[in-house]
Amino acid sequence: MEKSPLQLARAEYQPKLPKALQGPVKAKEGNPTQSVGNQEEIKKLFPNTYGMPVIEFESGEPYEMAPFNVGVILSGGQAPGGHNVISGLFDGIKTLNKDSKLYGFILGPGGLVDHKYMEITSDMIDEYRNTGGFDIIGSGRTKLEEEWQFEKGIKILRELNIKALVIIGGDDSNTNACVLAEYYAAKEYGVQVIGCPKTIDGDLKNEQIETSFGFDTACKTYSELIGNIQRDCNSSRKYWHFIKLMGRSASHIALECALQCQPNICLISEEVEEKAMSLDDVVAYIAEAVAARATDGNNFGTVLIPEGIIEFIPAIKKLIAELNDVLATDEAKEVARNKQLDYVKEHISEENLKVFNSLPTEVAEQLALDRDPHGNVQVSLIETEKLLSHMVATKLEKMKKAGKYVGKFAAQHHFFGYEGRCAAPSNYDADYCYSLGFNATRLIANGKTGYMSIIKNTNSPADQWIAGGVPITMMMNLEKRNGKMKPVIRKALVELDGAPYKYFVSKRETWARYTSYVYPGPIQYFGPSSVCDQPTITLQLEQKK
């Protein structure tokens, strides 16, 4: 692997650890815990892993430990820092006994089921320290949910003499990690399972988990680009830039980028849903901001759009649900492609027809015609950033005729996702991820299973960070999935009474009207701490006393 000068220099970086993890640890156990909802049901489903205490590590006495092997899985989409979780795991087991081994299962959970693995050696790990991507062992989206998978898994785990399996993933993967932990505990298979909180979207977050890893780096990478675009926008003064950002089910990324860059407009899906806004309401909100800036002669600006916004508009959510039903029938499947649009219009409710007819033709067609392999409407194909800018242009034309808008409107479009998912981790993510991995080995050494590795107080310098574990069951409740109630980790949406959103709301009118752009620039790894080591503004606001 040929390396860039930055990679070569960055390979030398030694991630920071919380003080407690810098030497031998002792586990301090709290009181028994309960799940966040449906306590009785969750308890019944997880008799062996329910109610366990939260754990905090403190400095302890040195202890001897026999060599032990650990397996690791990367599950789901990439997030910056995954390689550092693995290097933390590697260094963690080696400090306990240098003969311990780390095995990586290849291309995600499927590697466990299909017995595809490799030993992660010292030479290998050194190639990947402080780098982005999940390419060291690859990732995958196979879900570990079935008994036969668990049984196939145990075979290879036993063959490799693996004491514990670490699953690095999002809410679903950690839920499944807990189901697996419970299954192996119930069967007394003697293999522990530990989770690590990853989602780039930042929606795996709660009282115990301050942030999911990768969120910091991704937001900083997108903010660099947004800042650059804003500087361009403010220099040429002739375009409105519509910038779509990752975040299907939560708007944390858009919100954090707004806090960093102070764009003119940032849409928050959770707010759109809470206020039951229509697509036209959203368009009108943007168009009015455009018109207001035009009165000052400023025919330029920036709009941040979370990827999932369309699905948060209640009227469209309803329409999509009905379209999925209507088009799933055998009758509908027989309809010729060029008759399908008419068929849809004849078969949906009057209320939904009104919404359907209000959509731009191409979007309506996309909703009626394009299906994913499961037969569902493909919302992700809709280029929301273009849809919104076209509708804003149309609205502005009307406003112009009504004498309510004087100005020129021209738009540029951007979508940032892949640009940040595999960026090299910021110092924050490098330290946080390394600590999560290192800490997981201490949970393993303490015989824990069904726990998630957690690191807290991360708005303070790393040596003040708090390391420990939280029972995964503690974060669970029951939710309907595919028609059945299932135990799941509750997804963290943007809280409309939370400090980051409230701060944004207190500023957004000023940002909309005036040019208040901030230009964060690229992530820095070597400069002053004020530049290199700041966590996200979201976290800073959340932890402000």
Question: Which residues contact a copy of itself by CB under 8 A?
Answer: 2-10, 77-78, 107, 131-135, 138-139, 221, 224-225, 227-229, 231-237, 241, 260, 262, 412, 414, 418-424, 516, 518-528, 530-531, 534
Shortest gap between Cβ of 535 and a copy of itself (angstroms)?
A: 12
Q: Are 193 and 448 in contact (CB under 8 A)?
A: no
Per the structure block, which two tokens stand in for 525? 């790894």
Residue 238 or 275: which CB sits closer to a copy of itself?
238
238 or 339: CB nearest a copy of itself:
238
The total number of residues written for the chain in this structure: 545
Tokens (6 digits) for 490: 């509750």
The pair of structure tokens assigned to 420 is 């940040």
Of the pair 148, 418, the CB lying nearest a copy of itself is at 418
Q: To the nearest whole angstrom, how small is the minimum distance from the Cβ of residue 110 to a copy of itself?
A: 13
Residue type, 112: L
* In the complex, minimum distance from the CB of residue 7 to a copy of itself, in angstroms, rounded to a whole number: 6
The three-state secondary structure class of 179 is helix
- Give min distance, CB of 522 to a copy of itself, in A: 3
Q: Which two tokens stand for residue 392?
A: 């804003």
For the CB of residue 116, give the shortest distance to a copy of itself in the complex, in Å.
Answer: 13
Determine the Cα–Cα distance for residues 369 and 356; give it in Å rounded to an integer: 13
Q: Which is nearer to a copy of itself, 91 or 224 (CB)?
A: 224
- Per-position b or e across 450-477, b if 16+ CB within 10 A of its CB: bbbbbbbebbeebeebbbbbbbbbbbbb
Closer residue to a copy of itself in complex, CB, 19/141: 141
Specify whether the CB–CB gap between 68 and 166 falls below 8 A: no
Our answer to whether residue 201 is catalytic in this structure is: yes
State the nearest-atom distance from the C-beta of 222 to a copy of itself, in Å. 10
Q: Which residue matches tokens 């570990």? A: 144
User: Which one of the listed residues 201, 203, 216, 431 is annotated catalytic?
Assistant: 201
Rg (CA), the chain: 25
Cα–Cα dist 405/498, whole Å: 35
Residue 355 and residue 315 in contact, taking contact as beta carbons nearer than 8 Å: yes
Read out DSSP for 55-115? EEEEE---------EEEEEEBSS--TTHHHHHHHHHHHHHHH-TT-EEEEETTSHHHHHTT
Dihedral sign, Cα of residue 496, residue 499, residue 501, residue 503: positive
**Which is nearer to a copy of itself, 189 or 415 (by Cβ)?**
415
Residues with catalytic roles: 201
